[in-house]
Amino acid sequence: MTARTRRPARPVPTDELGQLLFDVFAQDCPSRHALENVTGRWGLLALVALRDGTARFNALRRRVDGVSEKMLAQTLRTLERDGFIHRAAQPTIPPRVDYTLTPLGRETADQLFALIQQIEGRMPAVLLAQSQYDER
């Protein structure tokens, strides 16, 4: 990844007490990256799918309609790295890997689920707005 140069990169901001601030509006702030992983196209669906309990790789792949092996593997690795999911690989043949939410992951997945519920419930309004916008 190359550095962006549009603006002089801010240092990670600290407040008067010298504590780290995680301002998601600031470019390159760690919270922005974490948030993007979690709200990203596949991260969001994977986390919410895991609210139902442990799942194996191919089960997740079937649940999250349209994800490729590559992207699911990549997504799960990032979520594991950030501490949202736990990966348990049995050294058997054939291999078996179980993915589960960590406590942090569950908190986040619950937030995401609330968001999804809200959007799904309001879809009629969204579709209406779209058709009104389009006839012009």
Partner DNA sequence: CAGTATCCATTTGGATACTG
Partner DNA sequence: CAGTATCCAAATGGATACTG
Q: What are phi and psi of 88, to 5 degrees?
A: -120, 110
Report the distance separating Cα 20 and Cα 14, nearest Å: 5
Could you give the CA distance from residue 120 to residue 75 in angstroms, rounded to a whole number?
Answer: 24
Residue 68 is which amino acid? S
The token pair that represents 24 in the structure block: 């998601």
Q: x/- binding map, residues 74-113, to a copy of itself, per CB under 8 A?
A: ------xxxx--------------------x--xx--xx-
In 3-state terms, what secondary structure has residue 97? Answer: strand
**86 interface partner picked from DNA, a copy of itself, none, CB below 5 to 8 A per type:** none
CB of 15 to DNA, least distance (A): 27
What residue 114 binds from DNA, a copy of itself, none (CB within 5 to 8 A, per partner kind)? a copy of itself
Q: How far is the CB of 82 from DNA (least distance, A)?
A: 15
Report if residue 127 touches a copy of itself, rule: CB under 8 A: yes
Q: Specify whether the CB–CB gap between 124 and 75 falls below 8 A.
A: no
DSSP state of 20: B
> Residues interacting with a copy of itself, by CB under 8 A?
4, 6-7, 10, 20, 22, 24-27, 30-31, 34-36, 38-41, 44-45, 48-49, 63-66, 68, 80-83, 104, 107-108, 111-112, 114-116, 118-120, 122-123, 125-130, 133-134
